[in-house]
Amino acid sequence: MKRIILMLMALMILPRTYAQTLIIATTTDNPPFSSIADQHNHFYGFDIEIIDEICKRMKVECQYSSLVFDNLLLAINNKQIDLAIAANIITQNQQQKYLFSLPYMASHVQFITNKSSTLNSPDALKNKRIGVFKGNGFTELVMDLYKKQITVIEYPQMSNLFLSLDKKVIDAVLLNKDSAQYWYANNGNQYKLISPAITFGSGYGIMTKLGEESLIEKVNDALLSMESDGTYLKIYSHYFG
């Protein structure tokens, strides 16, 4: 009996560790950044490998939630998720609403259109119909670039964007540059890029709700350690090298 009491007392003074679970939101159809692998919320892509490594270094379990981009933003505000990673571009406007990590990749955007289109430069898009993801800030960018002399149509998913482009409901799509180049590389007989790409924002960042400075600090620490030991470069080179 005395031994049992001593053992219980020893357990009481030992530091306790608790496995923390973070809910990570991402999009299902935005290659090469994130794509869904099956019906069990298993994902793959550049963003997924980045956040997997961050979770490993933070020593937390990360569970994924698949959301369209606009709902992803709502989920942050409603505290339904802890972090979002979906090639989110850091802009001054978005920084007033959300907290971002350090940028983990430079951000550029590029137009893509049907191969048969006569549009060959961004200047030619004036007064045309442009498709963008709803909620990602591209609407404001396009309206500003063309002094509102353009029609912007927002879509919830990538598949909707390209279906409308195929049916010529829209004249071009504006995507993150690497997404546009991915679609071109895999469908070169159907689409063409409109060059040059356009710099937009301060890079891609991992998002959370305002006030979560402690969480973002841990994310930043993980990103910096990944850069220092070469892990980030290894992941980056796999997708963009």
pLDDT digits (tens, 9 = 90+) for 178-193: 999 999 999 879 999 9
Predicted pLDDT of residue 207: 97
Owner of token pair 């991402």: 26
**Same domain (yes/no): 27, 91:** yes
**Same domain (yes/no): 36, 112:** no
Task: Tell me if 14 is assigned to some domain.
Answer: no
What is the Cα–Cα distance from 74 to 135, expressed in whole angstroms? 10
The Cα-based distances of 162 to 88, 116, 196, 200 in angstroms read 20, 15, 20, 22
Domain count of the fold of the chain = 2
**Same domain (yes/no): 71, 186:** no
**Same domain (yes/no): 28, 95:** yes
Predicted pLDDT of residue 7: 40
Task: Tell me if 5 is assigned to some domain.
Answer: no
Task: Tell me if 49 is assigned to some domain.
Answer: yes
User: What CATH number has the domain bearing residue 137?
Assistant: 3.40.190.10
Is the pLDDT at 138 greater than 50? The verdict is yes
Residue 207 lies in domain: 20-105+203-240
Task: Tell me if 8 is assigned to some domain.
Answer: no
Which tokens belong to 231? 């892990």
**Same domain (yes/no): 209, 166:** no
**Same domain (yes/no): 38, 86:** yes
Closest CA to 137 of 192, 46, 200, 185: 200
User: What are the E-state strand segments in the chain?
Assistant: 21-26, 29-30, 34-36, 43-44, 61-66, 83-84, 98-100, 108-114, 129-133, 151-155, 172-176, 191-199, 207-209
Spatial CB neighbours of 192, under 8 Å, sequence gap ≥ 6: 112, 113, 114, 115, 117, 184
Which tokens belong to 230? 């070469």
**Same domain (yes/no): 151, 81:** no
**Same domain (yes/no): 101, 112:** no
**Same domain (yes/no): 132, 168:** yes
**Same domain (yes/no): 163, 184:** yes
Task: Tell me if 2 is assigned to some domain.
Answer: no
- Residue 193 in 3-state DSSP? strand
Predicted pLDDT of residue 5: 40
Mean pLDDT across 225-230: 98
Predicted pLDDT of residue 130: 98
